[in-house]
Amino acid sequence: MSWLAALRLFHERRIAVPVGDDDLVLDVGSGDKPSWRADVLLDRFAGAEHGAQRSGRAKARISRPLFDADAADMPFADDAFAYAICSNVLEHVTDPVGVAAELSRVAAAGYIEVPEAASAKIVDFPSHLWWCRLEDEPEGPTLVFTAKTAPYHDPEIDAYIERAGVRRELDAVLNKRFEHRVVQYHWTGEVRLRVEGELDPEFAAAAMRAEGHHRTWETVAAQGVTSALTWRTRRRRGTPRIAWDAVVKPELRGRGGHLERRIYRLEETGAR
């Protein structure tokens, strides 16, 4: 992939968010590199003890109001957001159908990105729970998640890759056509997602403990490029003031005030 094609893909995946200046955007599973355009973040595993699930820094980045909550049971009101971003998260969660339903409930449209199954079956990561693909179905494009039963598609091939020490080289080759490594799913109105098979709870628990794929320098570089490409919009918008009661569920309203750049936990909101 040429540098120009790579820049176009980066812009499509990380910069282009089709909303107006006054629209609220949610980033679900924001981790250490939340979307530049997100006004509110949600991440259930914000601490450094969950750093293996991230590709960059260990701790989640608290650059905006961040809710520590389950993505399958969000504390937000219906249609609270114009747009929701969920990038490289669903392959890690045990209930992607529940998360898809919540995304559809709290936002009008959004963007989901997951690793593409065929590419992942060549080089995957043991922290992922699903083989993900996008299929054309009668009701429209649908994300199809097939439960993994082992960390890698073929243990014998994975053992060879490890023994030969070529995992990094294979990863680099696949990244030259990165547009084929991920499924990019733009949705409006409803996230269409179905699962095949069932997750083994022991496998899911092991995946949660598995080592991630750390590329801290790439995260820093991406943040630098993003900052340069978005500074005009960020300067124009400033820091929006978001009223607590404007985004949370009705049963959580009443505390008043505006959201701050901090972590909000469910037990603090009265949801538990």
* pLDDT, tens only, 153-201: 999 999 999 999 999 999 999 999 999 999 999 999 999 999 999 999 9
- Structure-block tokens of residue 218: 């790439």
- The mean-pLDDT minimum among 80-94, 96-110, 135-149, 255-269 falls in 255-269
Q: What is the mean pLDDT of the chain?
A: 91
What is the pLDDT at residue 123? 93
In this predicted structure, what is the pLDDT of residue 165? 97
In 3D, which of 79, 103, 109 has the Cα closest to residue 19? Answer: 109
State the pLDDT at residue 216. Answer: 62
Answer whether residue 271 shows pLDDT above 50: no
The confidence band for 272, taking pLDDT boundaries of 50, 70 and 90, is: very low
Give pLDDT, residue 6: 87
Which residue would you say has higher pLDDT here, 41 or 4? Answer: 41
Percent of the residues in the chain that have a pLDDT greater than 70, as a whole number: 91
Q: Residue 262's closest CA among 126, 89, 107, 62?
A: 62
Mean pLDDT value across residues 208-222:
73
pLDDT of amino acid 209: 87
pLDDT exceeds 70 at position 217: no
25-28 sheet: strands from edge to edge: 182-188, 109-115, 83-87, 25-28, 40-42, 66-68, 263-265
Q: pLDDT at position 35, please? A: 96
> Whole-angstrom Cα distance, residue 227 to residue 62?
16
Distance CA 125, CA 53 (A): 10
For residues 38-44, give the mean pLDDT.
97
The rounded distance, in Å, linking the Cα atoms of 177 and 39 is 31
User: What mean pLDDT comes out for the span 222-247?
Assistant: 93
Question: What pLDDT shows up at residue 57?
Answer: 53
Confidence of residue 81 (pLDDT cuts 50, 70, 90): very high
∠ CA 155-214-146, rounded to 5° = 45
3-state secondary structure of 89: coil
DSSP state of 62: -
Q: How confident is the model at residue 59 (pLDDT cuts 50, 70, 90)?
A: low
What pLDDT shows up at residue 3? 81
Q: Evaluate if residue 264 carries a pLDDT over 70.
A: yes
Please say if the pLDDT value at position 49 is more than 70: no
